[in-house]
Amino acid sequence: MNKIWKWLIGIFLLLTISIFAFVMIENQTVTYLPFRLLSMYDYPFIGGIIPYFLFWGSMICSIILLVLLVVVIFYPSAKHSITLEDENGKLTIQKKAIEHFVLQIVRKEPFLENPSVKVVMRKKNIKVKIQGKMRKVIAVPQQQRLLIEEVTAELRQLLGTSDKLTTQVVLEDYQETKKSNDSRRVE
């Protein structure tokens, strides 16, 4: 997770926890506790600030939660199969079948070592992500472009000439990082 997101989520959680703590302290009289907490309004320096903090903190948290609710509701859901219908019948294709189909095409390419394929399916969109270690070859950009075009053409042929369905193929190079076991766990 990105450091900026960690900071934003941490600040939001601290704000939310402090609001809940203030509400809990102020409403402790509704239940019997073996101890009694001092009201937040009785503290000398923060007693006058608490109402403003509670109001604006609640307002900010409510807006953030409403935005998150809208994002959760309208975020497209991933599917594990896609169903294509025409006048001849219905065809259901699983995500694993497409991954295996593309992997067989990619394994034929000599410039890509240890390929892996991931497919993300939405209602009208298929995104294929191909990862592998690129070998040092002179015409790699042309071969990459040809591979992407070949995979796209083969997928369109497999799925039929459906204008309702869009496909996107991404080819990424990953770098292998070797971990050294020189450091000992116990010294």
H-type alpha helices, the chain: 3-26, 50-74, 95-106, 140-159
Rounded CA separation 138/159 (Å): 33
- Of 101-105, 128-132, 170-174, 182-186, give the lowest mean pLDDT range: 182-186
* DSSP strand pairing (125-134 vs 112-121): antiparallel
What's the mean pLDDT when you consider all of the chain? 78
CA torsion sign, 46 to 41 to 48 to 23? positive
- Give the model's pLDDT for residue 154: 85
Kindly tell me if the per-residue pLDDT of 184 is higher than 60: no
**Per-residue pLDDT for 42 more than 80?**
no
Lowest mean pLDDT among 59-63, 75-79, 108-112, 147-151: 75-79
Which residue's structure tokens are 């990082």? 177
Q: Indicate the pLDDT class of residue 186, thresholds 50, 70 and 90.
A: low
Two tokens, residue 19: 């609001």
Q: What pLDDT score does 63 carry? A: 92
Identify the burial level of 155 via C-beta atoms within 10 angstroms of its C-beta, where 0-12 means exposed, 13-18 middle and 19 or more buried: buried
Per-residue pLDDT at 51 = 79
Question: Looking at per-residue confidence, does 96 or 76 come out higher?
Answer: 96
pLDDT of residue 130: 83
End-to-end alpha carbon distance in the chain:
31
